[in-house]
């Protein structure tokens, strides 16, 4: 028997969550440097890093900043933690702009796509830009000169502005020397030049360079001195005390009005911004020097995704991939009839979300369907799902929708959904006070002869047709009476808040999920000490829950081989001698965003595989309504083990493996060429299987 680890032995430190998030963005940034990735996609990855950093500062940075301003030296958030985090963020941003200026933009220029700065435009191009500024831009700009009657204007989160130093005096003889120019969000950030003026390349100009070149036109009679773009990021996590409000929807809608003006946490300015101007901005927003980011390029790279969409160069983008219709569903046949024979697994986006929509469409238009129940977390802007639910209500069906109003940055969309459905008679509930409803499920009740039969959909991802083309997720369509009865009980619990009945197969957070996961890990560890052949493989977006981490560590020490596929933040330090020798952590970052959550364990010849809506984070285990459920059909379990886990463990093109001290290394760097990409392999398999 293997020795049981001594629980009194000193515990090793876990990794830092915020630094782990930044490390993930370093992995995304690396994609913009890879020569095997098409150029416009490399630019897109640069923009994705900016978008991720925006959210990081909006959600995670405020606690560190407040601790620094209060000179805190104890606890999780301190002045030192802010300084370390700012140092890592500054280094990441420096690498990002170096990649933009030294690699990506020169390569695009060589490929015939150029963003022309003012200094490199010829006479014809400058004349066209001047005309565009007069007709399209200047009428929307309102320059404000600061004086006692014109204080510094309100600056919304992530909005682009210019700060301008003026000489001379205004029309009243006053020497107010600072002006602020807000750039409206409605204006495009990238403007294509007409072919007649762009020369032999596809020419573009950035909106900021257009305004910069014509700042003098906004202040006639006054010389323009120093100036800079600037952009402020604000803390944007809505905080609503649900115990203190009578109407959560109304409170959130009111909160949305103030989100754009929360605590300032980051200030971005042009690299050439003068010290007096940057100091003025820092004072105004109450920020320390380390919160200032001087960038040698556009201060909002996120909006440069417009260039990817505008450029006419399909050869510089990924080859198009059309998701296949789910192999287990025969197109045109009744989905209900097929589910009565066997469950259907859909591996998105290799297989299309249209299989799920086919089930809902059939349910809406089938007169024998009586009830449709569904959870809504992130739906995106696609109107079809909402239209189908509205059609079901108008057809006389009972429709219950559990809408999560607090889905971060989707609050307004979800409020609009709730109001649209309520207005025509759907039953809309908002889950459980104090918890986010993150479970993804749909339940359909249909009359068949003298009985009622349930059909269900469970998923690791959201009901969002757009992200279903970009995110890897697993959907399960089922008529299993045990599983669908569990779903019925969960919906009843969410609507009535009554005591949760006993579930036969599902694990539900915050009640069972955490405890059951810990129990399974400990079970595997226990039998491993007896000499059984054991293994754990888990795939998720983030691993930050300390209890689950400790359980995995103890399982590894008991001899269990543990493979973790964690896309983003992971606090478990793998490969530490004498502590986590048996644990490997890898992150796969490629064309698609890895989003599926699976947990597999093997004890000798016995295998179990679970799908889940939950990442292994404390918030998911205790502050959210989450689901996990077993895949019981051997063929489905074998398929998911292969496609979602083993294939990803073979990846050495898009995979990064964690080494000591939490540092990741790209597996492709150890080969002369990239050998195997799980995502490319699965695209090929499904394309070949469908004959397309």
Question: Can the peptide bond before residue 501 be classed as cis, meaning omega within 30 degrees of 0?
Answer: no
Please state the rounded mean pLDDT for residues 80-96: 95
Convert the pLDDT of each residue in 327-357 to its tens digit: 888 767 899 999 999 999 999 999 999 999 9
Question: Vertex 389, ends 384 and 392: CA angle to 5°?
Answer: 125
The answer to whether residue 92 sits within a structural domain is no
Q: Are residues 489 and 534 in the same domain?
A: no
Please state the rounded mean pLDDT for residues 435-446: 92
Report yes or no: 528 and 555 within 8 Å, Cβ to Cβ: yes
Please state the rounded mean pLDDT for residues 296-304: 92
CA–CA separation, 22 and 16 (whole Å) = 10
Helices 248-259 & 411-422, crossing angle to 10 degrees?
A: 150
User: Which pLDDT does position 244 carry in this prediction?
Assistant: 44
CA–CA separation, 55 and 161 (whole Å) = 20
Q: Closest by alpha carbon to 456, among 441, 468, 474, 446?
A: 441
Please state the rounded mean pLDDT for residues 346-375: 95
- In this structure, the number of other CB atoms found within 10 A of the CB of residue 160 comes to 25
Q: Are residues 565 and 624 in the same domain?
A: yes
Q: Which of 373-377, 406-410, 487-491, 619-623 has the lowest mean pLDDT?
A: 406-410
Catalytic residue among 214, 235, 347, 438: 438
Per-residue pLDDT band at 558 (split at 50, 70, 90) = very high
The answer to whether residue 171 sits within a structural domain is yes
> Count of domains in the chain?
3
Per-residue pLDDT band at 620 (split at 50, 70, 90) = very high
Whether residue 599 has pLDDT greater than 60: yes
The answer to whether residue 1 sits within a structural domain is no
More confident residue, 83 or 75: 83
Q: Are residues 471 and 584 in the same domain?
A: no
Report yes or no: 512 and 629 within 8 Å, Cβ to Cβ: no
Q: Are residues 399 and 477 in the same domain?
A: yes
**Which pair of tokens denotes residue 318?**
């990924």
Report yes or no: 488 and 454 within 8 Å, Cβ to Cβ: yes
Q: Which of 221-225, 270-274, 480-484 has the lowest mean pLDDT?
A: 221-225
Per-residue pLDDT band at 645 (split at 50, 70, 90) = very high
Full domain range(s) for residue 636:
509-690
Q: Are residues 431 and 553 in the same domain?
A: no
Report yes or no: 598 and 572 within 8 Å, Cβ to Cβ: no
Whether residue 10 has pLDDT greater than 60: no
**Which pair of tokens denotes residue 433?**
């006070």
Q: Are residues 246 and 391 in the same domain?
A: no
Please state the rounded mean pLDDT for residues 125-140: 96
How does DSSP classify residue 147?
B
**CATH code: domain of residue 563:** 3.30.870.10
CA–CA separation, 336 and 24 (whole Å) = 42
Question: What is the SS3 assignment for 547?
Answer: helix
Please state the rounded mean pLDDT for residues 254-277: 81
The answer to whether residue 19 sits within a structural domain is no
User: Which pLDDT does position 307 carry in this prediction?
Assistant: 96
Q: Which of 503, 518, 540 is the last residue of a domain?
A: 503
CA–CA separation, 558 and 117 (whole Å) = 61
The kind and range of the H/E element at 348 are strand 344-348
pLDDT mean across residues, the chain: 89
Please state the rounded mean pLDDT for residues 184-212: 94
Q: Which of 33-42, 373-382, 545-554 has the lowest mean pLDDT?
A: 373-382
Q: Are residues 497 and 520 in the same domain?
A: no
**DSSP string over 584-606:** EEEEE-SSSEE---EEEEEETTE
User: Which pLDDT does position 305 carry in this prediction?
Assistant: 94
**Which pair of tokens denotes residue 590?**
């490629």
Q: Which of 471, 503, 535 is the last residue of a domain?
A: 503
Per-residue pLDDT band at 423 (split at 50, 70, 90) = confident
Please state the rounded mean pLDDT for residues 586-609: 96
Report yes or no: 442 and 280 within 8 Å, Cβ to Cβ: no
The answer to whether residue 18 sits within a structural domain is no
Please state the rounded mean pLDDT for residues 172-201: 89
CA distance readout (Å), 378 to 242, 405, 417: 21, 10, 11
Whether residue 122 has pLDDT greater than 60: yes
The answer to whether residue 11 sits within a structural domain is no
The answer to whether residue 580 sits within a structural domain is yes
Task: Give phi and psi for 190, each to the nearest 5.
Answer: -130, 130
User: Which pLDDT does position 607 carry in this prediction?
Assistant: 96
3-state helix, strand, coil in the chain (%, to 5): 40, 20, 35
User: Considering the chain, what percentage of its residues have pLDDT values greater than 90?
Assistant: 71
Convert the pLDDT of each residue in 266-288 to its tens digit: 999 999 999 999 999 999 999 99
Whether residue 415 has pLDDT greater than 60: yes
User: Which pLDDT does position 373 carry in this prediction?
Assistant: 96
Q: Is residue 406 packed enough to be buried (19+ CB in 10 Å), middle (13-18) or exposed (0-12)? A: buried
Please state the rounded mean pLDDT for residues 435-453: 93
Please state the rounded mean pLDDT for residues 377-385: 75
The answer to whether residue 28 sits within a structural domain is no
Per-residue pLDDT band at 9 (split at 50, 70, 90) = very low
Q: Are residues 237 and 265 in the same domain?
A: yes
**DSSP string over 350-412:** TB-THHHHHHHHHHHH-TTEEEEEEEES--TT--HHHHHHHHHHHTT-EEEEEE-TT-TT-HH
User: Which pLDDT does position 311 carry in this prediction?
Assistant: 95
More confident residue, 61 or 100: 100
Please state the rounded mean pLDDT for residues 95-113: 97
Per-residue pLDDT band at 643 (split at 50, 70, 90) = very high
More confident residue, 246 or 180: 180
Q: Closest by alpha carbon to 148, among 173, 176, 117, 110?
A: 176
Q: Which of 101-110, 408-417, 488-497, 609-618 has the lowest mean pLDDT?
A: 408-417
Q: Are residues 306 and 429 in the same domain?
A: no
Question: What is the SS3 assignment for 532?
Answer: coil
Question: Can the peptide bond before residue 349 be classed as cis, meaning omega within 30 degrees of 0?
Answer: yes
Whether residue 634 has pLDDT greater than 90: yes
Q: Are residues 349 and 375 in the same domain?
A: yes
Whether residue 446 has pLDDT greater than 80: yes
User: Which pLDDT does position 692 carry in this prediction?
Assistant: 58
| Cα torsion angle, 183, 295, 39, 468, sign | negative
CA–CA separation, 370 and 368 (whole Å) = 6
User: Which pLDDT does position 579 carry in this prediction?
Assistant: 92
Whether residue 552 has pLDDT greater than 70: yes
Q: Are residues 430 and 364 in the same domain?
A: yes
User: Which pLDDT does position 664 carry in this prediction?
Assistant: 95
Active site residue 665: no
End-to-end CA distance of the chain: 53
Q: Which of 453, 483, 503 is the last residue of a domain?
A: 503
Q: Are residues 306 and 350 in the same domain?
A: no
User: Which pLDDT does position 420 carry in this prediction?
Assistant: 78
Per-residue pLDDT band at 690 (split at 50, 70, 90) = low
């Amino acid at each position: 028997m293997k020795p049981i680890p001594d629980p009194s032995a000193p515990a090793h430190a876990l990794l830092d969550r915020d630094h782990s998030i930044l490390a993930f963005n370093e992995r995304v940034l690396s994609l913009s440097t890879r020569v095997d990735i098409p150029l416009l996609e490399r630019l897109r990855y640069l923009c994705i890093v900016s978008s991720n950093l925006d959210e990081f500062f909006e959600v995670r940075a405020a606690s560190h900043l407040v601790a620094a301003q209060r000179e805190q030296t104890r606890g999780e958030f301190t002045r030192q933690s802010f300084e370390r985090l700012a140092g890592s963020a500054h280094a990441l941003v420096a690498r990002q702009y170096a990649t933009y200026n030294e690699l990506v933009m020169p390569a695009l220029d060589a490929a015939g796509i150029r963003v022309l700065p003012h200094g490199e435009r010829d006479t014809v191009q400058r004349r066209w830009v001047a005309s565009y500024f007069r007709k399209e831009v200047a009428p929307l700009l309102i320059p404000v000169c600061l004086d006692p009657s014109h204080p510094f204007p309100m600056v919304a989160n992530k909005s682009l502005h210019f700060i301008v130093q003026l000489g001379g005096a205004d029309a009243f003889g006053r020497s107010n020397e600072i002006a602020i120019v807000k750039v409206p969000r409605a204006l495009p950030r990238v403007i294509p030049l007409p072919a007649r003026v762009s020369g032999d390349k596809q020419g573009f100009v950035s909106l900021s360079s257009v305004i910069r070149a014509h700042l003098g036109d906004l202040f006639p009679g006054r010389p323009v001195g120093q100036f800079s773009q600037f952009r402020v990021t604000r803390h944007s996590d809505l905080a609503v005390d649900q115990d203190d409000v009578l109407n959560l929807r109304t409170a959130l809608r009111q909160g949305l009005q103030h989100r754009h003006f929360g605590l300032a946490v980051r200030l971005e300015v042009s690299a050439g911004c003068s010290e007096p101007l940057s100091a003025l901005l820092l004072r105004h927003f109450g920020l320390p020097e380390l919160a200032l980011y001087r960038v040698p390029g556009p201060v909002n790279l996120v909006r440069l995704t417009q260039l990817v969409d505008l450029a006419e160069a399909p050869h510089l983008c990924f080859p198009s991939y059309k998701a296949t219709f789910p192999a287990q569903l025969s197109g045109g046949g009744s989905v209900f009839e097929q589910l009565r024979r066997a469950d259907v697994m859909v591996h998105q986006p290799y297989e299309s979300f249209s299989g799920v929509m086919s089930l809902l469409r059939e349910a809406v238009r089938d007169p024998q369907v009586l009830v449709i129940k569904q959870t809504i977390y992130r739906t995106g802007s696609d109107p079809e799902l909402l239209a189908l639910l509205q059609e079901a209500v108008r057809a006389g069906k009972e429709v219950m929708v559990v809408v999560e109003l607090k889905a971060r940055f989707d609050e307004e969309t979800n409020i609009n959904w709730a109001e649209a459905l309520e207005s025509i008679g759907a039953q809309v509930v908002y889950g459980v006070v104090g918890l986010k409803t993150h479970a993804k499920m749909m339940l359909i009740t249909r009359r068949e002869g003298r009985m009622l039969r349930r059909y269900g959909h469970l998923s690791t991802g959201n009901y969002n047709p757009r992200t279903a083309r970009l995110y890897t997720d697993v959907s399960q369509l089922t008529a299993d009476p045990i599983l669908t009865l569990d779903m019925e009980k969960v919906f009843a619990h969410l609507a009535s808040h009554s005591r949760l009945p006993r579930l036969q197969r599902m694990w539900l957070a915050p009640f069972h999920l955490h405890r059951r996961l810990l129990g399974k890990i400990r079970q595997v560890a226990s039998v491993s000490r007896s000499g059984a052949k054991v293994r754990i493989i888990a795939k998720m977006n983030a691993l930050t829950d300390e209890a689950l981490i400790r359980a995995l560590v103890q399982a590894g020490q008991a001899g269990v081989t543990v493979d973790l596929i964690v896309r983003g933040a992971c606090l478990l330090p793998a490969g530490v001698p004498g502590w986590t020798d048996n644990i490997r952590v890898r992150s796969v970052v490629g064309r698609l965003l890895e989003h599926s959550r699976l947990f597999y364990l093997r004890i000798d010849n016995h295998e179990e595989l679970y799908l889940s809506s939950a990442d292994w984070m404390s918030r998911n285990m205790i502050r959210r309504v989450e689901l996990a459920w077993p895949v019981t059909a051997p063929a489905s379990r074998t398929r998911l083990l292969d496609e979602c886990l083993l294939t990803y463990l073979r990846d050495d093109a898009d995979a990064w493996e964690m080494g000591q001290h939490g540092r990741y290394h790209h597996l492709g760097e150890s080969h002369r060429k990239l050998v195997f990409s799980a995502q490319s392999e699965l695209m090929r398999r499904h394309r070949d299987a469908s004959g397309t």
